Protein backbone atom coordinates (compact mmCIF):
# COMPACT_ATOMS: atom_id res chain seq x y z
CA UNK A 1 0.00 0.00 0.00
CA UNK A 2 1.26 3.48 -0.91
CA UNK A 3 1.97 6.26 1.57
CA UNK A 4 0.97 8.88 -1.01
CA UNK A 5 -1.93 11.10 -0.02
CA UNK A 6 -3.91 11.13 -3.27
CA UNK A 7 -6.22 13.88 -2.04
CA UNK A 8 -3.36 16.39 -1.79
CA UNK A 9 -3.52 19.26 -4.28
CA UNK A 10 -0.90 21.82 -5.18
CA UNK A 11 -1.92 25.21 -3.82
CA UNK A 12 0.57 27.34 -5.73
CA UNK A 13 2.78 27.26 -8.79
CA UNK A 14 2.36 25.73 -12.20
CA UNK A 15 0.38 22.77 -10.90
CA UNK A 16 -1.93 24.78 -8.63
CA UNK A 17 -5.13 22.85 -7.94
CA UNK A 18 -3.95 19.77 -9.86
CA UNK A 19 -4.56 16.39 -8.31
CA UNK A 20 -1.39 14.36 -7.74
CA UNK A 21 -2.37 11.62 -10.15
CA UNK A 22 -3.26 14.13 -12.88
CA UNK A 23 -0.04 16.09 -12.35
CA UNK A 24 2.05 12.92 -12.44
CA UNK A 25 0.35 11.67 -15.60
CA UNK A 26 0.85 15.00 -17.39
CA UNK A 27 4.49 15.36 -16.37
CA UNK A 28 5.30 11.82 -17.52
CA UNK A 29 3.57 12.47 -20.84
CA UNK A 30 5.70 15.52 -21.61
CA UNK A 31 9.02 14.16 -20.26
CA UNK A 32 10.80 14.02 -23.61
CA UNK A 33 12.74 16.80 -25.39
CA UNK A 34 10.75 16.45 -28.63
CA UNK A 35 7.43 16.59 -26.77
CA UNK A 36 8.56 19.75 -25.00
CA UNK A 37 9.50 21.22 -28.36
CA UNK A 38 6.04 20.34 -29.71
CA UNK A 39 4.42 22.05 -26.70
CA UNK A 40 6.47 25.18 -27.36
CA UNK A 41 5.21 25.22 -30.94
CA UNK A 42 1.61 24.80 -29.80
CA UNK A 43 1.50 27.43 -27.05
CA UNK A 44 -2.15 28.46 -26.82
CA UNK A 45 -2.74 28.00 -30.53
CA UNK A 46 -4.21 25.11 -32.42
CA UNK A 47 -1.65 23.80 -34.92
CA UNK A 48 -1.80 21.20 -37.66
CA UNK A 49 0.44 18.14 -37.61
CA UNK A 50 2.07 19.33 -40.85
CA UNK A 51 2.94 22.71 -39.29
CA UNK A 52 4.48 20.92 -36.31
CA UNK A 53 6.50 18.66 -38.61
CA UNK A 54 7.83 21.67 -40.55
CA UNK A 55 8.65 23.57 -37.36
CA UNK A 56 10.28 20.71 -35.45
CA UNK A 57 12.05 19.11 -38.38
CA UNK A 58 11.48 15.40 -37.93
CA UNK A 59 9.27 12.86 -39.69
CA UNK A 60 5.50 12.99 -39.58
CA UNK A 61 5.33 9.46 -38.17
CA UNK A 62 7.68 10.41 -35.32
CA UNK A 63 5.65 13.55 -34.53
CA UNK A 64 2.39 11.60 -34.71
CA UNK A 65 3.68 9.05 -32.20
CA UNK A 66 4.59 11.76 -29.71
CA UNK A 67 1.32 13.62 -30.27
CA UNK A 68 -0.56 10.37 -29.67
CA UNK A 69 1.15 9.81 -26.32
CA UNK A 70 0.27 13.30 -25.15
CA UNK A 71 -3.30 13.04 -26.45
CA UNK A 72 -3.84 9.68 -24.75
CA UNK A 73 -2.66 11.14 -21.42
CA UNK A 74 -5.01 14.16 -21.68
CA UNK A 75 -2.31 16.74 -22.34
CA UNK A 76 -3.50 17.46 -25.89
CA UNK A 77 -6.79 17.46 -27.72
CA UNK A 78 -7.21 17.03 -31.46
CA UNK A 79 -9.76 17.62 -34.16
CA UNK A 80 -9.82 16.57 -37.78
CA UNK A 81 -10.82 18.84 -40.65
CA UNK A 82 -10.84 17.12 -44.03
CA UNK A 83 -7.40 15.46 -44.25
CA UNK A 84 -5.69 17.63 -41.59
CA UNK A 85 -5.47 16.98 -37.86
CA UNK A 86 -5.11 19.96 -35.53
CA UNK A 87 -3.78 19.75 -31.97
CA UNK A 88 -4.06 22.07 -29.00
CA UNK A 89 -2.95 21.88 -25.38
CA UNK A 90 -5.92 20.67 -23.34
CA UNK A 91 -4.32 20.58 -19.88
CA UNK A 92 -4.37 24.02 -18.21
CA UNK A 93 -1.38 23.15 -15.99
CA UNK A 94 0.65 22.41 -19.11
CA UNK A 95 -0.46 25.72 -20.62
CA UNK A 96 0.94 27.46 -17.53
CA UNK A 97 4.12 25.38 -17.82
CA UNK A 98 4.82 26.60 -21.35
CA UNK A 99 4.24 30.15 -20.16
CA UNK A 100 0.85 30.88 -21.61
CA UNK A 101 -2.24 32.13 -19.89
CA UNK A 102 -5.27 29.93 -19.46
CA UNK A 103 -7.54 29.92 -22.52
CA UNK A 104 -10.97 31.42 -22.18
CA UNK A 105 -13.54 28.68 -22.88
Q: Where are the domains of the chain?
A: 20-97
Calpha distance 10→17 (Å, rounded): 5
**61 exposure class (CB count in 10 Å sphere: 0-12, 13-18, 19+):** exposed
| Class level of CATH domain 20-97 | mainly alpha
Q: Say what the pLDDT of residue 45 is.
A: 86
Nearest Cα residue to 23 out of 35, 38, 6:
6
SS3 52: helix
Dihedral sign, Cα of residue 90, residue 34, residue 58, residue 98:
positive
pLDDT digits (tens, 9 = 90+) for 66-82: 999 999 999 999 999 99
- In the structure, what pLDDT confidence band is assigned to residue 1 with cuts at 50, 70 and 90? very low
pLDDT digits (tens, 9 = 90+) for 49-67: 999 999 988 999 999 999 9
pTM of the model: 0.77
Instruction: Calculate mean pLDDT across residues 11-36.
Output: 77
Amino acid sequence: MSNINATCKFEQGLLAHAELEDASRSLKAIAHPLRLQILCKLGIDEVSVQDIVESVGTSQSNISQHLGVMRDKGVLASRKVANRVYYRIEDDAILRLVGERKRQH
